[in-house]
Amino acid sequence: MSIWTRIADALAALAKGEGLAAVFDRLRTPPERSVAFTIAIIALGAKMAKADGEVTRAEVAAFRQVFAIPPEEEGNAARVFNLARQDVAGFETYARKIAAMFRDDRETLMDIMEGLFHIALADGEYHAKEDAFLREVAGIFGLRECCFRGLRERYAPDQPHDPYDVLDVAPTASLDEVRAAWKRAVRESHPDRMQARGVPPEAVRLAERRLIAVNAAWEEISRARAA
């Protein structure tokens, strides 16, 4: 059964009058968690697009880069997107549901944030409303401010650069602590580890940019410390 067929099954609950936020309560364990991950990015992406005021072709194309949607399943993806845009529930409601679902899985929450950043920057601009939206979602997810800045830097290169933010470590950390943070980031980005967390295979490609950034940050810090 494809992930999109499982999404269709999850959405069947909506025919009974449940809101989209309630669907997340049904998706707490594998393999449903991969369905929840996909719905999370579609739903929050829709809310972010609403905050920005419009949905561009670039944003739709960006989503397709993360999730391979077969032609016969496009209706299910569109249904989630449209329901999220029309739902009276605020994005905070979705974010809290997702945060509760993945409360012990910070890595997956980071994956979701990366998917949202990827969509936000698809049109080549990073808008103030998108920044406010993503910052608040990161806060609801329990991610630290330096973690948010590190994510933002990877996707919005015009933002202030700090390699310590990229590795989510304090500038006062010892070189051994920085090295440990770098190794942890590399390990968390491994495709096998990501798939074990229930991340759809298509979303694993988001880790490619992450690996480039964390390796560059480690090289920059280690070079500066050696000088």
Q: What is the mean pLDDT of residues 43-55?
A: 72
Residues in the chain, overall count: 227
Assign 106 to helix, strand or coil.
helix
pLDDT tens per residue, range 66-83: 666 667 777 777 777 777
- Cβ distance 66 to 118 under 8 Å? yes
pLDDT at residue 38 above 60? yes
In the numeric block, the tokens 């480690």 are attached to 218
Which of 52-61, 75-84, 193-202 is least confident?
52-61
CA-closest candidate to residue 182, choices 215, 136, 227: 215
On the question of pLDDT at 154 being above 80, the answer is yes
CB 77 within 8 A of CB 4: yes
Which residue pairs, CB below 8 angstroms and at least 24 apart, start in 98-104? Answer: 98/24, 98/36, 98/40, 98/44, 98/141, 99/140, 99/141, 99/142, 101/24, 101/27, 101/28, 101/33, 101/36, 102/33
> Alpha helix (H) ranges present in 53-198?
57-66, 74-86, 91-101, 106-120, 128-140, 145-155, 163-166, 175-188, 191-196
Burial tier of 57 (Cβ tally within 10 Å: 0-12, 13-18, 19+): exposed
- Check pLDDT > 70 for residue 160: yes
pTM of the model: 0.74
Shortest CA distance to 156 belongs to which of 188, 186, 127? Answer: 127
- 164 pLDDT band, cuts 50/70/90, is very high
Contacts 24+ apart (CB under 8 A), 124-130: 124/58, 126/152, 126/155, 126/156, 126/158, 126/159, 127/52, 129/51, 129/52, 129/53, 130/48, 130/51, 130/52
